[in-house]
Structure formats: C-alpha cells, structure tokens
Structure 1
C-alpha cells in the first residue's frame, strides 16, 4: 500500500480537508483513485479495514471534504457557515460511524465507506463546535493550504509540518540568502 498521505494537522477532520493540496496553485488531488481513499481511511488510524471504494464513494467523500474545508475556513475567519456545506456535513455525520470491536488480539475496526466517512464527519462536527477554534491556523507556506491546530508554546508554529513545509521554506530562505551575499575578496 502506498503511504503518502500526511497527518500533521492535529485532527482527522483537518487532515481529511487537506487531501486536496495546493488549493490556490496547482491543485493536487490525493483521492485520485478509489484505492487512495481506502488508503487514507486506514492510514489515518480511524479504521483498520474499509470496504473497497468505488468511484461514487470518492465523489461522496470529496464532496464532504470540500464542505468540511469550507466550514473550517469560515470558522477560522470568523464568518458564517455556508448552509449547503453545513447540510452536507450533517448528512454525513448522521450516518452510523465505524464501530470498533474487541477481538482476542485487541481493538479492530472494519467499516463500510459510509461508516468511515461518517466517522470523519463526526470528527469535523466535534472540531467545529469545540474549544480548538482559536488554535486553527493555515500553513505559512504560500503553496500549502493545510489548516492545522497550533498547540505550540506561544502559538508560534508557522507550518503544517516541518517535514512537509517547514524544511522547504527554511531551505528556500537559506538559498535566497546565499544568492544575495557577495563573496568576500580576500
């Protein structure tokens, strides 16, 4: 299984919303195929197994994801929720979520696509109605549009993650400084 999904936002709902990358520039869809949606649900840790997605499941998931992103953005900016996005999220959250089961070897959660999506939607409801709203920030990388929860001391975190964006920005700044320094004649 290809594991290139990134979970740096501090909430499954935020990580889910971030699966459409670089929204302002060259958009990159992480759910390009049904198996990528399956992989996200498992890699997120919300489920251990999920029924194989069909294209209709991808369409449903991306529709809910866009509603979640719109609602997160509204909450972060202090604006009103869009009624259509709100209805879309609540519809997904009303479905039965994935139910963990106890097995001889521990916890195991198998889900249908709709149960997995409901689980994400319920995380979004909790996030958007909870105490972390003031901690929501958008990544400082101009090419990145991930929103994350900044729990750093003094709320000084600037990037969604050091590996994904922080190192890139720092390396680019270093290269820019090196280009502007004039070698000393000596």
Structure 2
C-alpha cells in the first residue's frame, strides 16, 4: 500500500497533530478531503478499515487535531491547558472507540471516523499525562512544526525524521558553508 502520510513522531497522536504541515509558513493541509483523512486512520495502523467520512468528519478531525496540537504546545511550554482545546480532546476521547474483533484471518478493527478520532484523542490523553512528556521536542528544521517523542540515546535527536527534515537541513547547511568558503576565498 502506498502511504500518503508520514509517521515519524513516535506517537500516533503527534503524527495526527502534524497533518497540518509547516504551520509557521506554508501551512500545508494533509486532510484536504475525506479520503485523505480515512487513509490516515488506516495508514496509522489504528484501524484496518474506516467507514467513508464526509466533509463534517474532516472539519471535526481538523478541530480535534488543532486541539491536540495546542495541548501539546501548552504541555511543552509548561502553560495551563487551553480550556477550549481541552474540552474538544476530552469530548472526542469520551466517544466509544473502535473495538478490535477476532476473525479467521486474525485481528481486525473496523471503525467509523468518530470511533477512530476517539482512539487518537485517547492516545493524546495518555501521552500528555504519561512519562513521555519530558521527551517531547519540536523538529529542529524551522520550516517544520512537527513535535516528536525523542527516545534517542541522550535525547539528542534534532529532527522529526532524517528523510523529511534532517537531510534537507544538513544539505542546506552544507551548501551555505560551501558558499561561505568560496566567498571567503574570493576576497
């Protein structure tokens, strides 16, 4: 299956929050259609299938996503939680999640968008109330606004992912150094 979405943050709730890319600059929306939202739930591995959603589901998912992102920022910066964001995430988490079923082929989880969204919100609750909070970091690429869980040795990871940001950033820094060296040599 060809993945449309990236999962580099170490937690599906953070990957979900990262579906609005480059928040400070370009603001690229990954949930542009119900299909893209449905694909995210399946690609994340949270569910095996999701009942096709509509425009209202996309709006609700975006609202929960933005609330999760706000709560993550609040937690990282040791601020009180935004009350509206807290209400949205908790309301989504209170909805029934999808229930895995045992089939002849193994485990299978079929969901509605609301059930899948509940699962993401519950993961956000677990993350923000759990031991990984001190490990939350924002990607070192100023263009990127992904927050990830840094489980690297010595918590020295700088990028959400080498493929997405690390290599681009290192290549740009290398080109800048080369330009600087040739400019210095020219004087």
Q: Is the structural similarity TM-score above 0.5?
A: yes
Aligned match of 2:122: 122
Give, in whole Å, the separation in 2 of the partners of 1:118 and 1:151.
Answer: 26
1:11 maps to which residue? 11
Provide the rounded CA distance (Å) in 2 between the counterparts of 1:6 and 1:159. 14
CA contact 2:4–2:39 (8 Å) conserved in 1: no
Rounded to whole Å, the distance in 2 between the matches of 1:70 and 1:143 is 18
Deviation track 1:84-121 (CA, whole Å, cap 9, x = no partner) reads 11010000000000111111111111000100000000
Query: Is this contact kept in 1: 2:99–2:110, CA < 8 A?
Result: yes
Give, in angstroms, the shift of residue 2 of structure 1: 5.5
Match of 2:32 in 1: 32
TM-score, structure 2 length as denominator? Answer: 0.96
Once superposed, what is the RMSD of the aligned Cα atoms? 1.4
Q: How does 1:68-147 map to 2 (within 5 A)?
A: 68-147=68-147
Q: Distance in 1 between matches of 2:20 and 2:180?
A: 35
TM superposition score normalised by structure 1: 0.96
Q: Which runs of 5+ in 1 are unaligned?
A: none
Write the deviation string for residues 118-155 of structure 1: whole angstroms up to 9, x where unpaired.
Answer: 00000000001101000000000000000000010111
* Corresponding residue SS for 2:137: strand
Q: CA deviation at 1:26?
A: 0.9
Distance in 1 between residues matched to 2:44 and 2:84, nearest whole Å: 27
**Gaps (5+ residues) in structure 2?**
none
Count residues in correspondence: 185
Matches for 1:30-69 after TM superposition, within 5 Å: 30-69=30-69
Distance in 2 between residues matched to 1:139 and 1:156, nearest whole Å: 12
Aligned to 1:152: 152
Tell me the SS of whatever aligns to 2:127.
helix
